[in-house]
Chain A
Amino acid sequence: MLIRYRTNSSCTLQNFKDDVNDIILGNIATVNDLSSGADKVNSEMYGTYPTGTYTRVNATTYTYSKLHNDTNASKTHYFRLSYNSTSMANIALAQSYTSGTDTLVNSFVKTVNIRPITYETFYKSGIDIIVSNKMIAIFAPQTGGLHGILDLGHSSTTRTYTDSMLMIMQDFTNVPGIGANLNTGGTIPYIYNYDTPGYATLTTGIQGVQTIRKAVGTSSVVFENPAFTASSGASNLMYGCYRVPYCCFSGIQIYKDASNLYRLTANDISLLVD
């Protein structure tokens, strides 16, 4: 599910918190269910909500569990959205969680400072949020950047060392061929590293075979190649994340793929909405 969340000038931080929480928990069936701080005329919704994937695990903090999309993986990881007085200050991704003390275990935190800004027709200002069984992505180009928490596929390392996480936090402003820092921006908070040796944190980037756009009759086809984490160790498939040709789409756009599924693109990366 993708919600292109647009807000009006009276949107409060609490409106923003409530809307993000309701989007993650599937309480938004149509854009009319968004809070009074949302610009419901210009907000849009695509795809379907992944039932049974996300659970809020603490009533006070905005901490959620995320079930891995591959049932064979049998993994649940956790993320926490922390707010300050004006914005979503940071996002943390954790291998595990202790409910009694509401404590993340083996976590990585990233400062994001995402806040709602009033919708402007010319810039289409807003926040795009994907909540699928493969990822949660929050794209806020006007404020905090492009952030995703994605499921990973197994590698030989993660099958051997089974406490390794199968989720990554990826900054999508750093992608192959675009941006100042190429093939960086990904962090797996807790994974076995043969160089350590032991479990620790791994920074990675996005890798994938370069792809093209091909003319077909009077139309064209965009080839989407699966993306992988790129690090010195084994690579992992990034679920729902694909490379598309250089500069095929401008800015942040949506399109439908050959399976009639919606995708959100940014910086030559295509993310499956469903």
Chain B
Amino acid sequence: MNKQFFQSIFNQKMGYVYAYKGTVPEGESPAHYITAQFAQAAGSNLVNTVVSELSTFGITVIYNHAEENNINSANFELMTDLVPDPVPEPPVLPEAPEPEETSPEEPSQG
């Protein structure tokens, strides 16, 4: 599970993904409960999130559409941002030495 994986499942190139470390009370909808917990941690109800239970990995993650990571809660462990990594600049190749100038030979006349 790396950034590319989460970029592909949330189809986003911004925001943050957190692993949910808490529990969900029996009978509660995980999506509603975790979203409410996250909104509380974010200090705002105006969050745009997606809760995804990744059964293959046995974890539940929440994606938050935000420009900054302002979550400080033991229940939400930052996994990655989804901002694409900068493309590395191509390596600078050493310049090839210029060929030495040679005086042109005078044509011989026969």
Contact = CB atoms under 8 A, between A and B. Distances in A.
B75 interface: no
Contact of A196 (B35, B52, B63): B52
Given A103-B35, A107-B48, A199 B53 contact: yes
B44 to A, nearest CB: 9
A96 interface: yes
A203 interface: yes
Question: Which of the listed residues A109, A163, A200 has the most CB atoms from chain B within 10 Å of its own CB?
Answer: A200
Interface residues of B, number: 25
Contacts of B65: 107-109
Contacts of A31: none
Given A101-B36, A105-B32, A109-B65, A198 B9 contact: yes
B19 interface: no
A218 interface: no
Interface string B34-70: 0110010000011111111111100000010100000
| Interface size of A as a range | 20 to 34
Contact of B31 (A96, A102, A187): A96
A106 B9 contact: no
B23 interface: no
Given A98-B32, A106-B50, A189-B50, A200 B39 contact: no
Contacts of A108: 48, 50, 65
A200 B50 contact: yes
A204 B29 CA distance: 27
B76 to A, nearest CB: 15
Interface string A83-105: 00000000010011010011111
B36 A82 contact: no
Contact of B48 (A92, A98, A200, A202): A92
Contacts of A196: 9, 52, 54
Contacts of B46: 61, 82
A201 B32 contact: no
B12 interface: yes
A201 B49 CA distance: 10
A6 B10 CA distance: 37
A211 B35 CA distance: 44
A105 B64 CA distance: 11
B108 interface: no
A105 B48 CA distance: 8
Contacts of A107: 48-50, 65
B2 interface: no
Interface of B: 8-12, 29, 31-32, 35-36, 39, 45-56, 63, 65
22 contacts: A92-B48, A96-B29, A104-B48, A105-B32, A105-B35, A105-B49, A106-B35, A106-B49, A109-B65, A163-B31, A187-B11, A195-B8, A196-B52, A198-B9, A198-B53, A200-B10, A200-B52, A201-B9, A201-B10, A201-B12, A201-B63, A202-B11
